[in-house]
Chain A
Amino acid sequence: MQRRDFLRKLAITTGGITVGGAVLSACGGGSSTTADGLSIGTPQNPIKLPVSTDPIADGLANESGTLEILNWADYMNPESIAAFETQFGVKISTSIYDTEEGAVAKLRNGTFKPDVILGMTDTGLAKLIAADILQPLNKSYIPNFGNVISGLRNPYYDLESQYTVPYFIYGNGIGYRTDVIDKSAFAQNGYEVLWDAKYNGRLAVLDSYRDTLAMAIFRNGGNDANSSDPDEIKKAGEALIEMREAVNPKVDILGYQEIPAGNRDIQFLWSGDMFTAVQYMPEGLDPGVLGFWYPETTVTKNDFMCVTKAAKSPVLAHQLINFLSDTDSALKNREYVGYQPALETITVDTLLASGTIPESLVDALVTPEKYASGLAQVTLEPAVDALWLEQWTAFTAG
């Protein structure tokens, strides 16, 4: 797509959304609440979340004992955990979740009772607020909040960052083997490379209906990652079926293992996966074979940390958030996790200088500019969600 074309489409689309938002607020009384009662902020319609309790008081002493964390698997460096334990003289115990929906369900029914939740995204946030699970943060415990990328200090999903502090950022794009595919292929053909029959049996897309269908929408020339246009959604589904016929793709999230292992050449994935892939590189092989194409039109996301209302150690919970927002601790944490901390103090140059990122993956780094131009994904209305799921089933049913 031509740059000018892209800008024009952007203008048309954002204009459309603004109109839609205006109509919505006319009907719904001016809030960003969807028809089903969820408070969902969008970049066009940011939201200040309701607050039902006060944050903890200033200057409280740290609790002792155990700090309970709820986190994705391998999403915090064990060395960072040990460092925090030593510094604060406490034990950290971690529970693992593998889907946001599952985590919210288990938080609601009391299976999980953590102090801190790591790695939730805005789609989960709306539900956590609706279920009244979180407590507002007292920033006096989080001086490192100032390190956060400026564009994320007042995010659309949580204006004034009442509940959340960003953890990692990433963008959707294409990871590939530089020894098989040349960078220029993407400059010429963009997303179309994923439809190239040359890569039959060597290609995969993300096992995430929102991400992969949105990618197909972008490939078709659209730029709405939350499209509610039945025609556009259907065409995206058809594009994926076309891909299925041409390249018999796999649908999983294993690119970070399979690409370095040489089992596949190309995958649509989250940028952070490619940094994780560096650690999966077979002994003696140059990580320079890992490449990443960061599309001009794509989804950029971040996840965040938050404290539960029922936290037994709320002060420690704040301390952990502060700890992970410290530049050095975040760099240490990143060494293991791979993903990129949402800190302004950790620039592309810092990361390159750390020697842990091969030159070939510079494009996978999310710069503040890329973050600003990235598209956001928000929770879909049930009826629209059903349209997306219908197309996804048609694709995955083979």
Chain B
Amino acid sequence: MKRTPRLWTLFALPGTTWLVALFAIPFYAVACVAFGTIDPIFRDAVPQWNPLSWDFTQASQTLASLTSGPLRGVAIRTVVYVFCAMVISFTIGFPIAYFLARHSGKRKLLFLALIIVPFWVNYLMRMLAWVNLLSSDGLFTRFMRLFGVNYNWLDGSPITVVLGLVYGYVPFLILPLYATLERLDWRLIDAARDLGANSRQAFRLVTMPMSKAGLVAAGILIALPMFGDYYTNDLLSRSPSTEMLGNQIDFFLNGSSQPQNGALLVIVLSIFLLALMSFYLRSTRQQARQTTR
């Protein structure tokens, strides 16, 4: 029995190695670029591997731009877009997941397949397809005109970008949500109904709290990539008025002679997401403790 702790440590080894090799080291490298220098001749990043010699001048300028300069608007816009996209995703995704878990009966697999199959197609291909559908003589635009909606979707419109994000990520919300809802003990609903709750009350007081963990997990799963997304914007808008943080990171890393700025924005975004995530994790843990009590 003495060997058990060591054995468990051994079990954790693959995971730890994975985390160190594919997260900790790359993240450290990003920091070394952010606080490093630029090769004076080739204008590419020279990472500063020694944290003691990190240079924060460029970083502080970029941070100032984030808090009070031009990047502030981009940051706010990114949060607003992702928030809207998540609200819409939940509005669409929750009923679907609920239906799949509760009412799809024998056809459950068929419905699941119908939701997943389109997403076997590459993300870029799907977005390029939308570019065609939404162009001024595209099928979708013409279809909407039948209802009197004459809207130039590809006009650098925030609505298109938000809907693009929703379309791109909603299945990643539906699947984990479905997995959670499917495992719910529906007898508890019956019990609630027996105790006099109407269906709405049962949903609000039993189903919702029980599926909260799934909701949070699904929310995080789509929020993370949405915050860093830039190609949805690139393909559907390309207008400065819809610029998101991901686009600025892309520009700084690929198109400018200031890659440190891109690296710094990556760090800022990661810290922001980490904060969001730890908040959610804490709230779910609290909730778990309450329910087990």
Contacts and interface: CB of A to CB of B under 8 A. Distances in A.
A257 to B, nearest CB: 10
Interface string A251-282: 11010000001110000000000000000000
Contact of A397 (B42, B70, B256): B70
A127 B41 contact: yes
Interface residues of A, number: 37
A201 interface: yes
Nearest to B155: A201
A262 B152 CA distance: 12
A398 B77 contact: yes
B68 to A, nearest CB: 12
A27 B44 CA distance: 27
B175 to A, nearest CB: 34
Contacts of A251: 238-240
A395 B41 contact: no
B240 A263 contact: no
Interface in A364-398: 382, 385-386, 389, 392-398
A63 B7 CA distance: 61
Interface in B191-244: 237-243
Contacts of B238: 204, 207, 250-252, 254
Chain B interface bracket (under 10, 10 to 19, 20 to 34, 35 or more): 35 or more
Interface string A200-241: 010010010100000000000000000000000000000000
B41 A389 contact: no
A105 B40 CA distance: 14
Contacts of B237: 250
B255 A99 contact: yes
Contacts of B136: 262-263
Interface string A57-80: 000000000000000000000000
A300 to B, nearest CB: 22
Contacts of B270: none
B100 interface: no
B27 interface: no
Nearest to B69: A394
A130 interface: yes
Interface string B248-285: 10010011111000000000000000000000000000
Contact of B73 (A99, A204, A389, A397): A397
A201 B156 contact: yes
Given A37-B41, A105-B44, A130-B42, 7 more contacts: A101-B43, A130-B41, A201-B155, A248-B156, A396-B247, A397-B248, A398-B73
